[in-house]
Structure 1
Amino acid sequence: MTNSAYRYDLHSHTTASDGTLTPSALILRAVQNQVNVLAITDHDTVKGLDEAHQCIKEHDLAIHLINGVEISTLWKSTEIHIVGLNIDIHSQILTELLIQQENQRIERAKAIAYKLSKVSVADAYEHAQVYAKGDIVSRAHFARFLVEKGYAKDIKRAFKKYLGKSGYAYVAPQWTTIDNAIEVIHQAKGQAVLAHPSRYDFTTTKMKNLIGYFKQYGGDAIEVSQSRQSIDELHLLAKCANEFNLLASQGSDFHDNVSYLDLGKTQPLPGSVTPIWTDWSL
């Protein structure tokens, strides 16, 4: 089978960050969904990758696992995610950045819990830790707790009422910069991908400004094919990839077992773009 015949999903999450499946369970689901090449890209951590590789080895599975990470950054006060693919997970500079990001996540989670206590949501940090299953607490874990305990009807409302920018318990993040994230990914021998560029609630002009900034600092690719995407959006992102001379990636951004956001459930990349995997040896 040639690279072009593979089914790729280059953006997914496990319980190592805010996903609901363990790394092993994610691998097995990818195989079930006939994904040939999977990147695990947990938020600011690579802790799930060893288990995933071991699962493939133990079960002798026919799937290629790409070492990845999704680094949180700030650009014009907006949180922007940069995916690193084919990274060296033992890179010292990457390890140092992820430790910094992890410490920031811990401080932010504690600050969120404090704000929730002020609106009569007690012991939120401890409850969110249960959903995090021993890993770093994120807003997604707080959201699941808030829904489970009846403070919000669903995840979307939990963010709107409590955790989003207009919510009672919102705490602004203090992430690294886009240019630093790109530099670290490159020093870790990886490729830097601008994640879901059309999902930051930007106008087309501002989205292109973001893509231009990303390109200026050495970014390699943008995600062109995503879950829950119209044909018009797919072709707009393909056009942007070509306009800025960037490679094209695709990924479901899988977090949970829901039909509309499942592994491998993205549209094929348009023939007009150059896939990020063109020169990969699989």
Structure 2
Amino acid sequence: MSRTYLNADLHCHSVVSDGTLTPEQLAERAAARGVELWALTDHDEVGGQHRAAAAANAAGLDYLTGTEISVSFAGHTVHIVGLGFDADDAALSQGLYDTRNGRGPRAREMAQQLEQAGIAGAYEGALRHAGNPELISRTHFARYLVETGVCSDTYDVFRHYLTEGKPGYVPHTWARLRDAVSWIVNAGGLAVIAHPARYDFSANEEYALFSEFKQLGGRGVEVITGSHRPHEYLSYADLAREFDLAASRGSDFHSPDESQVDLGQLPYLPASLTPVWDLLQDRIQRA
């Protein structure tokens, strides 16, 4: 499985965080769309890992454990994906619990701001969309605003609400980059910078992120992802080479109705890059 031309999808979300499908449904969908190696990467949570691994095995998929950790860096929220770790590692589980623990108070403050903007019942409405109340997020609020007709779709929500300078936006301090990378590495996994083009970084800030990440033991970056455009594939392939990072590939799939890219539908990694799965051969749970 060392080839770059592998249909690996190593970034997606289930109802355990802010997706709309169960781990079992995601495994079936991935298999139906030709995925060969799959990882479920719920936000700040590993509660769906054993279900996902069993479902992957039943569907004939090779599987890597995964999570996506929210990190505060240079005044921005950055996401670090962990792959191939021990899903029962106590330090990782505690760190993720501490990271998501602040979401509840943040959600209530978001609801208060939306109420001041004339949108009532947002907290209760968002909670109905949250499969895991500990992980209530902007995505769940967005679904409520679409459900009630305030906005036409989730993209419209983020144009008018829930982002900086708009009603409902509440900043949150997440884990430190150092902590996120160490939790993953100490649990036997590999840390990956998720969808780097999404962050509104200056060139210097981005260079600082990659430099510190590599110094802390991070070893990968998402090059091919549903959040990147084709020219960004090339930019982050170049950065992977510059920082000697392995390359990852993932759709960032959340929902059949919301996601721009479906499971397994991305271009392959460039052949000149080292795939993350080359470094995780002994961590892959074989079908």
Partner of 2:265: 265
Partner of 2:255: 256
Partner of 1:37: 37
Residue ranges of structure 2 left out of the alignment (5+ in a row) = none
Whichever residue aligns with residue 28 of structure 1, its letter is E
The change in CA–CA distance for 1:17 and 1:250 in structure 2 (over 3 A counts) is same
Q: Secondary structure at the match of 2:158?
A: helix
Contact persistence 1:227–1:265 (CA under 8 A): no
Q: For 1:43-67, what per-residue CA distance to the aligned partner results, in whole angstroms no more than 9, with x for missing partners?
A: 001112222233345xx32101211
- Please give the alpha-carbon distance, in whole angstroms, between the structure 2 residues aligned to 1:153 and 1:230: 24
Partner of 1:242: 241
Q: For 1:139-196, what per-residue CA distance to the aligned partner results, in whole angstroms no more than 9, with x for missing partners?
A: 1000010111012222122123221111111110110111110011111111000001
- Please give the alpha-carbon distance, in whole angstroms, between the structure 2 residues aligned to 1:73 and 1:277: 24
| 1:12 counterpart = 2:12 | yes
Whichever residue aligns with residue 175 of structure 1, its letter is W
Q: For 1:68-119, what per-residue CA distance to the aligned partner results, in whole angstroms no more than 9, with x for missing partners?
A: 1000000111000000001111111111111112211122112211222222
- Please give the alpha-carbon distance, in whole angstroms, between the structure 1 residues aligned to 2:260 and 2:119: 31
1:142-161 equivalence runs, <5 A: 142-161=141-160
Give, in angstroms, the shift of residue 242 of structure 1.
0.9
Give, in angstroms, the shift of residue 216 of structure 1.
2.1
TM-score, normalising length from structure 2? Answer: 0.91
Q: For 1:21-47, what per-residue CA distance to the aligned partner results, in whole angstroms no more than 9, with x for missing partners?
A: 111110000000010111100000111
Contact persistence 1:221–1:248 (CA under 8 A): yes
| 1:79 counterpart = 2:108 | no
Contact persistence 1:208–1:240 (CA under 8 A): no
Q: Secondary structure at the match of 1:174?
A: coil
- Please give the alpha-carbon distance, in whole angstroms, between the structure 1 residues aligned to 2:114 and 2:227: 32
Contact persistence 1:38–1:65 (CA under 8 A): yes
- Please give the alpha-carbon distance, in whole angstroms, between the structure 2 residues aligned to 1:94 and 1:217: 16
Q: Secondary structure at the match of 1:163?
A: coil
Partner of 1:167: 166
Contact persistence 1:221–1:276 (CA under 8 A): yes
- Please give the alpha-carbon distance, in whole angstroms, between the structure 1 residues aligned to 2:108 and 2:49: 27
Deviates more, 1:115-124 or 1:65-74: 115-124
Deviates more, 1:157-166 or 1:179-188: 157-166
Give, in angstroms, the shift of residue 206 of structure 1.
3.2
Contact persistence 1:15–1:132 (CA under 8 A): yes
Partner of 1:195: 194
Contact persistence 1:160–1:166 (CA under 8 A): no
Give, in angstroms, the shift of residue 198 of structure 1.
1.3
- Please give the alpha-carbon distance, in whole angstroms, between the structure 2 residues aligned to 1:245 and 1:134: 37
Q: Could you say what the CA RMSD is over the residues aligned between the two structures, in angstroms?
A: 1.7
| 1:28 counterpart = 2:28 | yes
Give, in angstroms, the shift of residue 15 of structure 1.
0.7
Partner of 1:177: 176
- Please give the alpha-carbon distance, in whole angstroms, between the structure 2 residues aligned to 1:122 and 1:134: 22
Instruction: Please identify runs of 4+ aligned residues in structure 1 that moved more than 6 A.
Output: none
Give, in angstroms, the shift of residue 228 of structure 1.
5.6
Decide which of 130, 133, 145 is 2:131's aligned counterpart. Answer: 133
- Please give the alpha-carbon distance, in whole angstroms, between the structure 2 residues aligned to 1:40 and 1:173: 24
The change in CA–CA distance for 1:238 and 1:196 in structure 2 (over 3 A counts) is same
TM-score, normalising length from structure 1? Answer: 0.93
Contact persistence 1:7–1:35 (CA under 8 A): yes
Q: For 1:255-282, what per-residue CA distance to the aligned partner results, in whole angstroms no more than 9, with x for missing partners?
A: 1115731111222111221111114144
